[in-house]
């Protein structure tokens, strides 16, 4: 199995940025009902699932976003099945009369 890691510089930079929920608060205030889809690995060490669960709880209480989360077994890179599901979602965003 091939392992992946992140650099110390990446971690220092990430530590200084707001959490996901803090980033979504102004979005929800400006665009209530905004449709957001999240694919989250239960074993993702780069973006732990507990942050997404906190975002879901905040949104349920006061966020007003159209938020749907798809949890899957696995890490940050997903699985072939989840990558296929995401690709289908993205294909659905492109109008059928527009070249792909």
0.75 cut: is pTM over it? no
Tens digit of pLDDT for each residue in 29-44? 888 888 889 999 999 9
Tens digit of pLDDT for each residue in 16-69? 666 667 778 888 888 888 888 999 999 998 888 988 998 899 999 998 899 999
Per-residue pLDDT at 73: 93
**C-alpha pair distances (Å), 72 with each of 16, 47, 60, 86:** 28, 13, 21, 12
Question: With left for phi above 0 and alpha for psi between -120 and 50, is residue 69 left, alpha or beta?
Answer: beta
């Amino acid at each position: 199995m091939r392992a992946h890691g992140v650099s110390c510089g990446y971690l220092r930079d990430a530590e200084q940025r707001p959490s996901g929920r803090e980033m979504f608060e102004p979005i929800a205030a400006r665009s209530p009902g905004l449709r957001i889809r999240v694919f989250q690995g239960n074993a993702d060490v780069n973006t732990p699932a507990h942050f997404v669960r906190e975002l879901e709880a905040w949104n349920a209480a006061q966020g007003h976003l159209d938020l749907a989360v798809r949890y899957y077994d696995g890490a940050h890179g997903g699985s072939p099945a989840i990558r296929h599901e995401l690709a289908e979602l993205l294909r659905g965003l492109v109008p059928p009369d527009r070249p792909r």
